[in-house]
Amino acid sequence: MKILVINSGSSSIKYQLINMEDESVLAKGLVERIGIEGSRLEQENSDGNEFEIVQDIPDHEVGMELVVNSLTDGDKGVISSVDEIEAVGHRVVQGGDSFDKSVVVTDEVKKEIDRWASLAPLHNPANLMGVEVCEKLMPHATQVVTFDSAFHQSMPEEVYMYALPYELYEKHSIRRYGAHGTSHKFVANQVAKEIGKDVEDLKIITCHLGNGASVTAVKNGKSYDTSMGLTPLEGLVMGTRCGDIDPAIVPFVMDKEDLSPQEMDHLMNKESGLLGVSGISSDMRDIIEGAENNDKAKLAYNMFVYRVKKYIGSYVAAMNGVDAMVFTAGIGENAIGLREDICADLDYLGIKLDAEKNNVRGKAIEISTDDSKVKIFIIPTNEELVIARDTKELVAN
């Protein structure tokens, strides 16, 4: 069975065609700058063959047609007909409390994705557009949606509620939903496999540290708490997001700087975090390099590390212990010194990193010392594979 995994954004479509017999990636690619000048597609096939198509791509339908043509092209393609694609798995950012698992697309499901767009205005409409274009271009294929929020639906009420007037929850569904669920679930399950135990018998802290970053407490295979909230703004210091701040800062700054709600939202989501503090970059590589001779870059780095450490400590308390910890995503998989700094001085909690084993990038590996009570791992995340597996299972049933 061949499954196409789609991540449709507002101006881009990322895709992977996966052969589910052996879970190998036949081809992966990206359509970018949809609707703007300089639109293009790039694709890399499993045999190493790479190509680029530069052409006008006014909308997602034209973009998806180009994807299908690139996959089925007589010379450059990897399949002979679009009919070989048995199902399409789509990433959807926000499913609110309507979905705790992946589902086959129906009209009702599409209505719900549209309804939850109020909480993910940049993502859900683009995700839905991807679904509708694929329905049109591949009517034979089963369409499945996987939600970033679904894994966190297991959080208990006292964890997901905010201490605001209860009626705001009733009227506007204001509560914690979390994000990166597919990634947290994947790496937690991989860790259980590495340890050789059932994930249901483990307490795991998963650190997804990318441009967007979140930490999750995974208790007995389920998300118990996570650092992102109603939106991805809450929690860790991120590339351009501030993460946790005193909420009183919001009206204070709006008043002092004469900002509208939209401008304040932009300031916290796009102008803050590593970029806002350092003033040089949102990219952790630049921050690490800059920290050598720039005090603000050093401060941004230290704040990032401290916030992760604080969440780890609080989740050990929340779960009454921890058996394993895992680092994933761009920063988590690659930033050697940063992993060391996060794990430093956590030996009271039984967390001891082995500096030698830790001297590695992007590999699934255990990096704790032999006497560390808590096992520490790096696991490269693979959200596409989770989406493909969920899709396969739903098609089979």
Give contact residues for ligand ADP (rule: CB under 6 A): 210-212, 239, 283-285, 288, 329-331, 334-335
Q: Which residue has the tokens 């700058």?
A: 33
Residue 158, both tokens: 């006292």
In the 8-state DSSP scheme, what is residue 197?
Answer: S
Residue nearest to ligand ADP (CB): 330
The amino acid sitting at 395 is V
CB of 64: closest distance to ligand ADP in angstroms?
A: 22
**Which residues have C-beta within 8 Å of that of residue 291, sequence separation ≥ 6?**
297, 298, 300, 301
Rounded to the nearest angstrom, the gap between the alpha carbon of residue 327 and the centroid of all alpha carbons in its chain is 13
Closer Cβ to ligand ADP, 176 or 339, answer by number: 339
Query: Distance (Å, rounded) from C-alpha 101 to C-alpha 106?
Result: 15
CB of 56: closest distance to ligand ADP in angstroms?
A: 26
- 283 annotated among ligand-binding-site residues: yes
Closer Cβ to ligand ADP, 4 or 238, answer by number: 238
Q: How is 253-285 classified by DSSP, letter by letter?
A: HHHHHT--HHHHHHHHHHS-HHHHHHSS-S-HH
Residue 55, both tokens: 């052409």
- 208 annotated among ligand-binding-site residues: yes
Q: What angle do CA 245, 251, 255 make, to 5 degrees?
A: 130
Q: Could you say which of 148, 323, 341, 390 is catalytic?
A: 148
- 209 annotated among ligand-binding-site residues: yes
CB-based burial label for 348 (10 Å; 0-12, 13-18, 19+): exposed
Q: Which residue has the tokens 């340890």?
A: 195
CB of 321: closest distance to ligand ADP in angstroms?
A: 28
Closer Cβ to ligand ADP, 199 or 284, answer by number: 284
Closer Cβ to ligand ADP, 212 or 229, answer by number: 212
Residue 199: name the closest of 232, 159, 151 by CA: 151
Query: Distance (Å, rounded) from C-alpha 291 to C-alpha 281?
Result: 11
CB of 170: closest distance to ligand ADP in angstroms?
A: 33
- 9 annotated among ligand-binding-site residues: no
- 302 annotated among ligand-binding-site residues: no
148 is catalytic: yes
- 333 annotated among ligand-binding-site residues: yes
CB of 260: closest distance to ligand ADP in angstroms?
A: 27
Closer Cβ to ligand ADP, 90 or 241, answer by number: 241
Closer Cβ to ligand ADP, 78 or 379, answer by number: 379
The amino acid sitting at 298 is K
Neighbouring CB atoms inside 10 A of 164's CB total 12
- 330 annotated among ligand-binding-site residues: yes
Residue 309: name the closest of 267, 266, 340, 354 by CA: 340
Q: What angle do CA 286, 335, 244 make, to 5 degrees?
A: 75
**Which residues have C-beta within 8 Å of that of residue 169, sequence separation ≥ 6?**
161, 162, 175
CB of 240: closest distance to ligand ADP in angstroms?
A: 10
Q: Enumerate the known binding-site residues for ATP.
A: 14, 208-212, 283-285, 330-334
Residues with catalytic function: 148
Binding residues for Mg(2+): 7, 383
Annotated binding site: 7, 14, 91, 208-212, 283-285, 330-334, 383
Annotated binding-site members for substrate: 91
